[in-house]
Copies of this chain bind each other. A is one copy, B any other.
């Protein structure tokens, strides 16, 4: 694993847990973690449960006893690490967004396609696909439970930089993060819009805003620097199947901590989800009798629900971290059975294209069409 901050800790918990809960054909060994600072990396290895540690990711790739590289760094280093790892015949799990530029993302998708021929697997970490309620939502839409999709209403609302005194961290700098709310959390709802409906976005009209343009420098709080990414992005979109969508990603929704919300309305029903209540799914079945019809709060903790048979009895909740545990489970299964894991780098590239179109539309004030990709 490369990187041992927030994402690294979450991935480590998942790697430690996945074989303890799921019965899998392969057992993950946590060989080594890589970070820039030797002392802090050694400490992280010890605390998070990695056998070894390195300060150069190239050393990881050079090791014969490592089969998979898990990339948990900021977006500006994804492409270089992933391309090297794939070239070295390592499976790759890469955090989202896939890359900071469309060029990098295209190169990564190409490399993943080439590696596939050699049985090498690449997966992008859109972990919210693995919330059981979200997986269930996709399954229900795919089997027609809500009919033809008419509306997608997705928002990812956070508020961690509402305070103007919040420092200019790397996530607020374009050269490190690529974009702001758009790439960090907007990427998730763009991916979910396409994943849940099984349809590509065919065009967008967007608007971005940076509410606070100067912020204190982390290392010198008396000085300020310029925020070079968006604080919020809002957009309307069309999907290839005829549905229309509104999407919103913001770090300025005061009081909303991690509110990833998706509601999808179809001709025969609707589904709604909120990450702040991640064990629940709301379902309206328009074919139910008129007197007892309504939104049903499904507590997604039954053994019949995705991933849940391996966990606790009904009504015993799981948390955020297990989206990663489920991701590792699916990746291990895919590697063991010689299947391609989802989301592929091509899926992630498709998200990247939408992000690019959003930024273009926001600059020009015009509708931005997106070509339907030839493969997915």
Residues from chain B with a CB closer than 8 A to the CB of A236 are 205-207, 234-236
* Cross-chain contact A312 with B305 (CB below 8 angstroms): no
Which residue on B lies nearest to A267, using beta carbons? B162
A199 CB, min distance to chain B CBs, angstroms:
15
- Least Cβ distance of A191 to chain B in Å? 18
Which residues in window 235-293 of A have CB below 8 A to B?
A: 235-236, 238, 242, 244-246, 248, 250, 252-259, 263, 265-270, 275-279, 283-286, 290-293
A232 near B244 (CB under 8 angstroms)? Answer: yes
Counting CB contacts under 8 A, is A295 at the interface?
yes
A residues 145-203 near B (Cβ < 8 Å) are 145-146, 150-151, 153, 155, 157-160, 162
Q: Once the chains are docked, how many angstroms separate the CA of A322 from the CA of B321?
A: 11
A248 (CB) vs chain B CBs: closest residue? B246
DSSP class of A's interface residues: helix, strand, loop or mixed? mixed
Question: Does any Cβ of B come within 8 Å of A375's Cβ?
Answer: no
The number of residues on chain A lying at the interface, defined by a beta carbon within 8 Å of a beta carbon of chain B, is 94
Residues of B near A253 (CB, < 8 A) are 150-151, 263, 265, 270
**A254 with B242: CB separation less than 8 A:** no
A226 at the interface (CB under 8 A from B): no
Query: Cβ of A319: which chain B residues have Cβ within 8 Å of it?
Result: 316-319, 321-322
A284 to B295, CA, bound (A): 11
- Chain B nearest Cβ from A272, distance in angstroms: 9
The CA of A150 and the CA of B355, in the complex, are separated in Å by 22
Note all chain B residues with C-beta closer than 8 A to A20.
12-13, 16, 47-49
What is the chain B residue whose CB lies nearest that of A361? B205
**Closest CB-CB distance, A211 to chain B, in whole Å?**
6
- A286-B234 contact, Cβ under 8 Å, with A244-B207, A367-B365: no
Complex contact B160–A314 (CB within 8 A): yes
Q: How near does chain B come to A33, taking the closest CB pair, in angstroms?
A: 13
Q: Does A31 contact B (CB under 8 A)?
A: no
- Can you pick out 13 interface pairs between chain A and chain B where the beta carbons lie within 8 Å of each other? A150-B250, A150-B253, A153-B155, A158-B315, A207-B238, A236-B236, A255-B269, A255-B270, A255-B293, A257-B299, A257-B314, A276-B317, A294-B298
